[in-house]
């Protein structure tokens, strides 16, 4: 079935690659525009200061904008059920739990290996923003589950991987979506080469596993929940660290 799909879509491979790049860039450009346009409203609401509250609101606006762009893209390409979504079955719920555990374990292993090799783990600016402010980490838990995870999965697994799979097949689609996922996040990583390397490796594990889960289940809800749960767990651990529960 897959080979036939790839053969019939071979002439569209170049077009789908261009679409993948453009929809990712377009989504993030629109997100930046939306955040910039609404900054006066956010500033008025938060008293005009660059607080963690403002960052949380800006993050929510950013990922809502990304979701809107993906919805627009699916309408433009007009492909029936390009991004399938159903309520997860009990089996899928098990995959969600297992996938979250594997991602957290994978990040731990990668960071330990890189530290052993003398590299410092990379940190996202969204994490550094909460240092000294545990409430920020606490609020980011639902934001990750409701906005960040779903929006990024709609974009990278749904729009990009789903479209590329039609002409390139399973693994090329997963790999390209993962590469784009990693590249778009590297500018937000603080530190030098080692920090970016660690983040790229973690993003690679994240992207490949999420891509496989999406391809296997044909249900965008599964990787969206795994991604959101992974981020939410990290923020929960950071929160517990800030309040002194864990060291």
Q: pLDDT digit string (tens) for 135-180? A: 999 999 999 999 999 999 999 999 999 999 999 999 999 999 999 9
pLDDT of residue 247: 67
Q: Is the pLDDT of residue 6 over 70?
A: no
Tens-place pLDDT, residues 39-81: 999 988 887 666 788 899 999 999 999 999 999 999 998 777 8
Lowest-confidence range among 23-37, 65-79, 84-98, 178-192?
Answer: 178-192
pLDDT of residue 200: 77
Confidence of residue 3 (pLDDT cuts 50, 70, 90): very low
Q: What number of CA atoms fall less than 13 Å from residue 112's CA on the CB side?
A: 6
Q: Give φ, ψ of 40 to 5 degrees.
A: -60, -40
pLDDT of residue 142: 97
Between these two residues, 156 and 116, which has the higher pLDDT value? 156
Q: What number of CA atoms fall less than 13 Å from residue 147's CA on the CB side?
A: 18
Burial classification of residue 148, based on how many CB atoms lie within 10 Å of its CB (0-12 exposed, 13-18 middle, 19 or more buried): buried
pLDDT of residue 127: 75
Q: Do residues 106 and 205 make contact, with C-beta atoms less than 8 angstroms apart? A: yes
pLDDT of residue 122: 65
Rounded to 10°, the helix 221-242/90-116 angle is 50
Confidence of residue 117 (pLDDT cuts 50, 70, 90): confident
């Amino acid at each position: 079935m897959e080979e036939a799909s790839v053969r019939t879509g071979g002439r569209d491979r170049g077009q789908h690659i261009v679409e993948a790049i453009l929809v990712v860039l377009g989504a993030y450009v629109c997100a930046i525009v939306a955040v910039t346009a609404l900054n006066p409203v956010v500033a008025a609401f938060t008293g005009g200061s660059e607080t963690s509250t403002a960052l949380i609101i800006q993050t929510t606006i950013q990922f809502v904008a990304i979701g809107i762009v993906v919805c627009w893209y699916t309408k433009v390409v007009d492909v029936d059920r390009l991004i399938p979504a159903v309520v997860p079955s009990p089996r899928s719920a098990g995959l969600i739990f297992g996938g979250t555990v594997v991602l957290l374990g994978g990040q731990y292993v990668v960071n330990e290996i890189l530290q052993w090799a003398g590299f410092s783990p990379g940190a996202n600016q969204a994490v550094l923003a909460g240092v000294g402010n545990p409430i920020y980490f606490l609020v980011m838990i639902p934001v990750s589950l409701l906005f960040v995870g779903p929006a990024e999965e709609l974009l990278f697994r749904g729009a990009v991987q789903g479209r590329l799979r039609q002409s390139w097949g399973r693994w090329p689609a997963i790999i390209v979506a993962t590469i784009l996922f990693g590249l778009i996040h590297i500018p937000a990583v603080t530190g030098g080469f080692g920090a970016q390397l660690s983040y790229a490796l973690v993003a690679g594990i994240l992207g490949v596993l999420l891509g496989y889960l999406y391809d296997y289940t044909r249900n965008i809800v599964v990787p969206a929940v795994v991604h959101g749960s992974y981020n939410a767990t990290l923020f929960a651990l950071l929160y517990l660290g800030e309040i002194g529960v864990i060291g």
